[in-house]
Structure formats: structure tokens, C-alpha cells
Amino acid sequence: MSEYKKEGGMIRGIPHDTIESNLPILAVFVAILVAVGGIVEIIPAYHLEDSEPNVEGVRPLTPLELEGFAIFRREGCFLCHSQMIRPFRDEKERYGHFSLAIESGFDHNYAWGSKRTGPDLARVGHKYTDAWHIQHLRHPRSVVPESVMPNYYFLEERKLDTSLTKKRMEVLAMMNVPYSADDIANWEADLKAQAGVDDGEGEDALRARYERKTWKHDGKVIQWTDSFEPTELNVRAFDGDASDVTEMDALIAYLQQLGTHVHFEEGVDYYHDKFGQPYRE
């Protein structure tokens, strides 16, 4: 007879037989274990001021880009494309600088993903032309013969549904995404201005609202330094047709800004200090 049986199911003084054969007792111990694990994970986050520092250049999505992100999620793009470049040499050589946490700081929900049937998209912004994206979305194998991506030709035929845009911004504002009342009030004008359907009337106001501004984040005012030159906002008819705003406009607007907010020098690894300022290592 084993020592375990001889000791009546006791291991190091713990009655394993009793605990594992009694569901209510086992449930209590599991709950205690999960609670301790949760406290260890969650409590420190409330006391770390620099757990998610701000970095110059990182901004919330514009209304058009926000709708593009919604289409990205609706079509399940994140199931095959990650948005998380890991700090490994092979990934950096293929995709560029590894992803910083703050670059996804305003995304809800996150699109990091873990499966790469297709390439990572974290720095796909400005890598290809709008015409390339249109052709790729219409018929992926016409530009990438080995692609298994479905055809998304219907995106340029569908007028963008903006019935939820304002509501999305209001909800995100409640989740600490720094959309101001002015941003939300002008969502429609900004959306049309970025898609180039208003003959340029709202472009200056759009740029003033999103290219350079003072962000309020968790009650703190974040001011970009005067020497910092933010990446210019993409403003044009992304699908090549300025007569209307389509889902193709929104999705390409979203893709073209990915990974372009923070300025990186090629070949240099950047981290950020406790004040959110990038530094080299």
C-alpha cells in the first residue's frame, strides 16, 4: 500500500482526498486561489503611474479611422493579422520597430492578435499606396499570388454606415479615450473632411483637432513639446472617389495610420521613460 493511502489521503498534512472529493470545498479553494491571483495582477496597476505612459504623437483615431477599425473587427481581420511586433530580430527586420504599449492605448478592444495567417499590420501605414490597398482588398491574389485572404470588393460598393459613430466616440470618452466635447460634436464634419467629400472645407479644423492638441488623460494634461512634428493626418478620397464615403474609405484610412504616430529612427530601439518620453537603448 502506498504511503499516500496509509496516511488517509494526506499529503504534507493537507487532506487532498477530502478536498478533491467534495465539490463545495473544492470550489471555495479555487475561488480563493483565483482571488489571490487577481489581486496580485490588478492591485499594482492602480499604483503604477507610468504603467501606460503617454508618448508624443500617439492620438485617438479620427471618426473615419474609428469606423475603419469597426469594419476591421467586423470582418474578422484580426483573426489572421496580428498588430503586435515582438522585440525579436527577425520580426524587427521584417516589420519594423517592435510595438510599444501606448500605441494601442486608445484601442478598445485591442487588435493585437496572435495568429499570422497574413502578415502583421502594426506598421502597415504608409507602406503601400491607396491604389495597392484597393486592389488588394478587391482581389488579394492579383497582388499577392499566394494569398488566402477573401475578396472584399463589396467594401467600395457600400456607403459607410455612420449611425453609431457618435455613440462610439461617447463610449470611448467614458473609457478615458481623450475625445473632447468638441471632437464629438464635430464628428460628422471631420469624417467627411478626412474622406475628401467636402471640397476641403473642414480640413483645417480636422487637422487642428487631431494633429496637435493637448490631451487630457486620466485627469492629467499632456502637452506635446513645441519641437515635435506630428505625423500629418491622411486626408483624401481613399477609394479614389470623392463623391461619397464608403467602407473602403474607412478601412484604408484606418490601415494607413497604423504604426505612423510615433517617430522611430531606423535601426534604433526605443523605449519610454516614466514620463512617457521615448529614449534610445
3-state secondary structure 83-143: CCCCCCHHHHHHHCCCCCHHHHCCCCCCCCCCCCCCCCCCCCCCCCCHHHHHHHHHCHHHC
| 230-246 mean pLDDT | 93
What is residue 207's three-state secondary structure? helix
Alpha helices in the chain (DSSP H): 3-6, 16-20, 23-42, 63-74, 89-95, 130-138, 165-174, 181-185, 187-194, 203-210, 247-257
| CA-based nearest residue to 115, from 71, 148, 144 | 148
Could you tell me what percent of the chain has a pLDDT over 90? 53
Q: Show the cell assigned to 240.
A: 479614389
* pLDDT, position 157: 95
Distance, in Å, from the CA atom of 267 to the CA atom of 261, rounded to the nearest integer, reads 18
Query: pTM score, two decimals?
Result: 0.80
Cα distance between residue 44 and residue 97, in whole Å: 28
Instruction: Report whether pLDDT(277) > 60.
Output: no
Among 47-56, 86-95, 103-112, 191-200, whose mean pLDDT is lowest? 47-56
User: Residue 276: pLDDT above 60?
Assistant: no
Question: Which residues are within 8 A (CB) of 51 and not within 5 positions of it... i.e. 6 or more apart?
Answer: 45
Q: Check residue 201 and give its pLDDT.
A: 92
The confidence band for 176, taking pLDDT boundaries of 50, 70 and 90, is confident
What are the tens digits of pLDDT across the range 64-100? 999 999 999 999 999 999 999 998 889 988 998 889 8
Amino acid at 82: S
Alpha-carbon gap, residue 178 to 132, rounded angstroms: 32
